[in-house]
Chains A and B, each alone.
Chain A
Amino acid sequence: MNLVRSEFLKIRTTNAWWLFGLGAFAMLALTFLVNALGAYYALSEPTPEGLNPDDAATFEATRDVVYQAANLYTSGQFFGLLFVLLLGIVVITSEFQHQTVTTTFLSTPHRTAVILAKLVAAALAGAGYWLVTTALNIPATIIFLSTQDVSNQLGEWPVLRSILLNLLAYVLWGVLGVGFGVLIRSQIGATVTAVALYLLGTAAGAIFFTLFANWLDADWISDLQYGLPSIASGLMVSGTNIPGQPVFWVGAVVLVGWSVLTGTIGTLITRTRDIS
């Protein structure tokens, strides 16, 4: 407990957390607007004529109020998770960047305990980001839905489920960040790699698996993209099942898997590494 508190104090006494928070807030405002616009058209326009049956089914699903509400309540997730990832990375790499790791391991020679404390602290910080994000999303969404003459949908289990699973995503991305930071100790290296992988890797992964699936005419290959942590997170918080997508809990399982993997590898590496 002391260790977690100390790790939290480390986060609080430096600038990264509120800088990233500011970034997340700006992106939240932007994505909420985009989502609200999307919801406005989806809820008011009829399904266009002349779509093939598959696309029409997808379109129908997105017209669902529950889907749109869940999407609005979890606005800002894509970039919010990126900032939580970066915070997790900073939690570990700043120790090497500023050579404080010596002091840290002198206070606590049990390195596993240190890494665990960092994982918990990063996860809690992620939860904090979720809390603020959600506290902003809820009133904004309620106001938007009321302008559309739609009730707030918070009584719908899939909507609540999405909001709660969104919390899980924020928590797990903090964990992912710490695990990633252990693997790439250089702060700048880890940050740049993470941003590149997150932004480009997500798009490239989605395109690659989709094209590959079309080329081989095998739908299951397209589903492999949900193995990517960022796409899995989006899937996890979708309010309704979109045809052609795995169910939401697959996303949760994938994300937990990645977190456990990076967390474990990170801990094992740190336990035996020479600090000089």
Chain B
Amino acid sequence: MSDGQIVVSGLTKHYKNVRAVDNLSFTVEPGRVTGFLGPNGAGKTTTLRMLLNLVKPTAGTATIGGQRYADLKDPLRTVGAVLEASSAHKGRTGINHLRVICGAAGFPRQRADEVMATVGLTPAAKRKFKGYSLGMRQRLGIAAALLGDPQVLVLDEPANGLDPEGIRWMRDLLKALAAQGRTVLVSSHLLSEMQLLADDLVIIAAGKLVRQGTVTQVMDSMAHSAQVRVRTPQVEELTSALTALKATVTPNGEGALMVAGIDAPGVGRAALKAGVELHELTLERPDLERVFLELTAGKAAIR
């Protein structure tokens, strides 16, 4: 398999009144799940559609394994995509939908039956698409993406409309695909889901890159917002000892103190020195949700 790295460079799309994507650059590595994160209207869909030659960029390039999508010799054998607002003919059966794609891409017909089994849709294969539930539609979309056994997978908000069981199934599938060395790029505005799924994050807001890195790196880049939670019967003594060290102390309203600007060992040492008794000492990592909100705050979601 070729390497399948995705490189987005200076990508820009102007619609009439909106800069949907604004000079965006990032890379996506094979063998990992990359979460493409941003609030609604951030430009995720537009970016992915430019990557796949469906929308023409105003400026910039996007390549997959060094080639533009339009130049790929066998696109479906290289990239499998599940996009929002892509669908099947309501009156066509699921299996026929896949056979049409097989026909266009020159795959053997039985590939359709194979991927149908992979996504667990075989019992519904001969039913018409209009009778499919949202979860079944999403599975059919993934089946279509897997037809060419591609090195790269691109999914736009695949968790939308899935029940918890479906989300879990999707998460396991995507992780397994990445473990096989494939490139997996998943967009989402659901942060909690990304925390469980992604190895790397690319965060955008208002069409611009906000952060790129591993999940831990992105969290650490926000480490200044990490806080230490302490519980003590001697609130006043501890507060003055910590403020002397230029830390900020705020009661959290549940009988504990939230301390910022100092790490957990620092708090312990200060308490020992001041002879203050501690009942709890916990480092509170900010969750992705909060990091994300802080990163994208102030950039209007609706533009």
Contact = CB atoms under 8 A, between A and B. Distances in A.
Interface of A: 2-3, 5-6, 9-10, 13-15, 94, 98-100, 102-110, 272, 274-276
Given A2-B104, A5-B103, A275-B49, A105 B54 contact: yes
Given A94-B89, A276-B49, A109 B96 contact: no
Given A6-B103, A106-B52, 7 more contacts: A98-B87, A98-B89, A107-B75, A108-B104, A109-B69, A272-B56, A274-B49
Given A13-B93, A275-B54, A106 B75 contact: yes
Interface in B100-126: 100-101, 103-106
B265 interface: no
Contacts of A13: 89, 92-93, 96, 99-100
B219 interface: no
A271 to B, nearest CB: 10
Nearest to B106: A2
A268 to B, nearest CB: 14
B76 to A, nearest CB: 6
Contacts of A100: 86-89
B45 interface: yes
B142 interface: no
Nearest to B99: A9
Chain B interface bracket (under 10, 10 to 19, 20 to 34, 35 or more): 20 to 34
Nearest to B52: A106
B91 interface: yes
A3 B100 CA distance: 9
Contact of A109 (B45, B53, B91, B100): B53
A273 B293 CA distance: 35
A117 B101 CA distance: 14
A255 B81 CA distance: 41
Contact of A99 (B46, B85, B103): B85
A108 B53 CA distance: 10
B134 interface: no
Contacts, number: 84
B144 interface: yes
Interface of B: 45-46, 49, 52-56, 69-70, 72, 75-76, 79, 81, 83, 85-93, 96, 99-101, 103-106, 144
B101 to A, nearest CB: 6
A272 B92 CA distance: 28
Contacts of B104: 2-3, 6, 104, 107-108
Nearest to A8: B103
11 contacts: A9-B96, A9-B100, A13-B92, A14-B89, A98-B89, A99-B87, A104-B104, A106-B81, A107-B104, A110-B70, A275-B55
Given A275-B49, A275-B55, A2 B86 contact: no
B278 to A, nearest CB: 56
A103 B86 contact: yes
Nearest to A15: B91
B90 A10 contact: no
A110 B79 CA distance: 16
A13 B69 CA distance: 29
B76 A107 contact: yes
Contacts of B70: 109-110
A104 B85 CA distance: 13
B86 A10 contact: no
A23 B138 CA distance: 36
Nearest to A109: B70
B136 to A, nearest CB: 16
Contacts of B75: 106-109
A274 B105 contact: no
A102 B91 contact: no
A13 B102 CA distance: 14
B85 A102 contact: yes
A274 B86 contact: no
A193 to B, nearest CB: 22
Contacts of B46: 276
Contact of B56 (A104, A105, A274): A274
Contacts of B54: 102, 105-106, 274-276
B102 to A, nearest CB: 8
A9 B89 CA distance: 12
Nearest to B46: A276
A275 B83 CA distance: 11
